[in-house]
């Protein structure tokens, strides 16, 4: 059974696109046939995060308007077997597509793929409505900040209004040291307020910026803690229930850094 | 540094996470009923005007007028200390 999952947040800049890219890659590495769809028409970026920007010829709007076949617009990621990108148009706007057209597009994608992962634009207007139209369920990305959680709360309400099942939460940009010092809301604080099930916590880390610079999602890096966080989130998305919680305290001691550098680092029970 | 010294002497500044949580809860309640804190203040001022026609109320800082999250609903909670009844003539 194929499934369409929309990744949304309300607020911009919380890491939706990075999350979509990494989960997409991780699910493909788990053996799923995945399409990541950039629904942010006019401001496409999923292609850049995935490092596939140079291979775009056709986009989502071309497909919807019948200017090309669906297959022509899908970009195959050669690094991850089974992963495809359907890019957004860059020179059009959110009104170039209707919710009905998105629903139909998702139906067609489901014929050949297990998981359709839709990267929703920020905001609650047309772009959100389009992104949610074909979705079977939603994943909410937030950060431990007042503004992001407020918007997440609003979006949870809108997901329910769209008659999707209860969404699941990813807490991004988590900083354990600040939580320890009492200067950042912890997991429990956030869950108490948003009251939806948690998929996982992703630490804030420089790896994300380096991977964005290079166009290589961090889940490809077996030794990255952030990558591991996304891998575990992805396993939970597939319904795996016994994925252990990740220890977010990174061991930065000289000895372990050296060991990791030599490829002998302590295993973090790396997910396959 | 000052923080560190304060912490050492057990005068830790209140963790900012608590501020975040309080502000967030406050915001979400106001979002839910679509009434801004400013509008609530305005409403309070108008209600206080009416109350003052009937009873003498204590200074503003002693009264409470806020939205609170209840079981499945938001409640307007108010506590206004009253001194004594104003002369009837004034009320009519």
Contact residues, chain B, for A185 at CB < 8 Å: 17, 20-21, 24
pLDDT > 50? residue A270: no
How far is it, in rounded angstroms, from Cα A56 to Cα A45?
12
How far is it, in rounded angstroms, from Cα A96 to Cα A89?
9
pLDDT > 90? residue B10: no
Angle (CA) A204-A206-A212 rounded to 5° is 105
Q: How many domains does chain B have?
A: 1
How many other β-carbons are positioned within 10 Å of the β-carbon of residue A96? 19
- Name the CA dihedral angle for A64, A67, A70, A73, rounded to a multiple of 10 degrees: -110
Residue ranges per structural domain of chain A: 3-261
Contact residues, chain A, for B25 at CB < 8 Å: 193
How far is it, in rounded angstroms, from Cα A43 to Cα A87?
10
Residue of B15, B24, B28 lying closest to A183 (CB–CB): B15
How far is it, in rounded angstroms, from Cα B54 to Cα B46?
14
pLDDT of residue A258: 67
Contact state of A185 with B27 under an 8 Å Cβ cutoff: no
How far is CA A116 from its chain centroid?
Answer: 11
Contact state of B16 with A153 under an 8 Å Cβ cutoff: no
A45 with A17: CB under 8 angstroms? yes
- Whether ipTM > 0.90 holds is no
Residue of A181, A182, A193 lying closest to B28 (CB–CB): A193
Distance in Å, alpha carbon of A149 to nearest chain B alpha carbon? 8
Which residue of A11, A183, A188, A194 to mutate against B (max B Cβ within 10 Å)? A183
Q: How many residue contacts between A and B have a Cβ separation below 8 Å?
A: 36
pLDDT > 80? residue A92: yes
| pLDDT tens readout for residues A147-190 | 999 999 999 999 999 999 999 999 999 999 999 999 999 999 99
| pLDDT tens readout for residues B63-79 | 888 898 887 788 999 99
Contact residues, chain A, for B15 at CB < 8 Å: 181-183
The model carries a pTM of 0.85
Res. B38 pLDDT band, cuts 50 70 90: confident
Structure-token pair, residue A200: 């996982």
How far is it, in rounded angstroms, from Cα A189 to Cα A181?
15
Establish if A149 touches chain B: CB-CB under 8 angstroms: yes
pLDDT of residue B2: 56
Contact residues, chain A, for B17 at CB < 8 Å: 179, 182-186, 189
Contact residues, chain A, for B21 at CB < 8 Å: 185, 189, 193
Helix (H) or strand (E) holding A2: none
Structure-token pair, residue B38: 């400013």
* Nearest CA among A116, A112, A123, A104 for reference residue A42: A123
Q: DSSP for A177-226? A: HHHHTT-S--HHHHHHHH-S-EEEEEE--HHHHHHHHHT--GGG-TT-HH
- Beta strands A168-174 and A198-203 are parallel
B11 with B18: CB under 8 angstroms? no
* Nearest CA among A266, A144, A271, A122 for reference residue A204: A144
Residue of B17, B25, B27 lying closest to A182 (CB–CB): B17
How far is it, in rounded angstroms, from Cα A177 to Cα A184?
9
- Beta strands B74-79 and B64-69 are antiparallel
Angle (CA) A125-A126-A127 rounded to 5° is 95
Higher pLDDT, A254 or B63: B63
- Averaged confidence pLDDT in chain A: 93
Contact residues, chain A, for B18 at CB < 8 Å: 182
Catalogue the E-assigned strands of chain A: 3-8, 34-38, 75-76, 83-86, 115-119, 137-142, 168-174, 198-203
How many other β-carbons are positioned within 10 Å of the β-carbon of residue A184? 23
How far is it, in rounded angstroms, from Cα A45 to Cα A87?
9
Which residue of A10, A148, A173, A181 to mutate against B (max B Cβ within 10 Å)? A181
How far is it, in rounded angstroms, from Cα A105 to Cα A63?
8
pLDDT > 60? residue B50: yes
Residue of B17, B25, B27 lying closest to A184 (CB–CB): B17
Residue B18 is part of which domain span? 2-91
Distance in Å, alpha carbon of A184 to nearest chain B alpha carbon? 5
CATH topology of domain A3-261: Rossmann fold (3.40.50)
Which residue of B3, B18, B21 to mutate against A (max A Cβ within 10 Å)? B21
């Amino acid at each position: 059974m194929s499934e369409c999952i929309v990744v949304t947040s309300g607020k911009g800049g919380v890491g939706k696109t990075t999350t979509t890219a990494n989960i997409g890659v991780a699910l493909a590495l788990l053996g799923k046939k995945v399409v990541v769809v950039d629904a942010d028409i006019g401001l496409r970026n999923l292609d850049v995060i995935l490092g596939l920007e140079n291979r775009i010829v056709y986009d989502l709007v071309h497909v919807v308007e019948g200017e090309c076949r669906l297959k022509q617009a899908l970009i195959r990621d050669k690094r991850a077997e089974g992963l495809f990108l359907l890019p957004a148009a860059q020179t059009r706007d959110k009104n170039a597509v209707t919710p009905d057209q998105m629903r139909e597009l998702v139906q067609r994608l489901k014929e050949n793929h297990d998981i359709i992962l839709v990267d929703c634009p920020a905001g609650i207007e047309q772009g959100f409505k389009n992104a949610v139209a074909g979705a079977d369920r939603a994943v909410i990305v937030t950060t431990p900040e007042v503004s992001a959680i407020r918007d997440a709360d609003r979006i949870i309400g809108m997901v329910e209004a769209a008659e999707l099942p209860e969404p699941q939460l990813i807490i991004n940009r988590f900083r354990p040291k600040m939580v320890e010092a009492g200067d950042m809301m912890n997991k429990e604080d956030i869950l108490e307020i948003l009251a939806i099930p948690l998929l996982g916590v992703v630490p804030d880390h420089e790896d994300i910026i380096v991977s964005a610079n290079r166009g290589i999602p961090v889940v490809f890096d077996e030794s990255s803690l952030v990558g591991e966080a996304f891998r575990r989130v992805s396993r939970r998305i597939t319904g795996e229930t016994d994925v252990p919680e990740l220890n977010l305290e990174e061991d930065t001691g000289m000895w372990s850094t050296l060991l990791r550098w030599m490829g002998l680092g302590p295993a973090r029970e790396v997910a396959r | 540094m000052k923080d560190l010294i304060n912490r050492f002497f057990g005068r830790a500044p209140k963790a900012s996470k608590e501020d975040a949580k309080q502000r967030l809860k406050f915001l979400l309640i106001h979002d839910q009923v679509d009434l801004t804190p400013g509008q609530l203040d305005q409403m309070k001022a108008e209600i206080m005007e009416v109350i003052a026609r009937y009873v003498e109320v204590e200074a503003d800082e002693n009264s409470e007028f806020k939205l609170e999250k209840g079981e499945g609903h938001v409640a307007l909670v108010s506590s206004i200390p009253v001194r004594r009844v104003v002369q009837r003539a004034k009320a009519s």
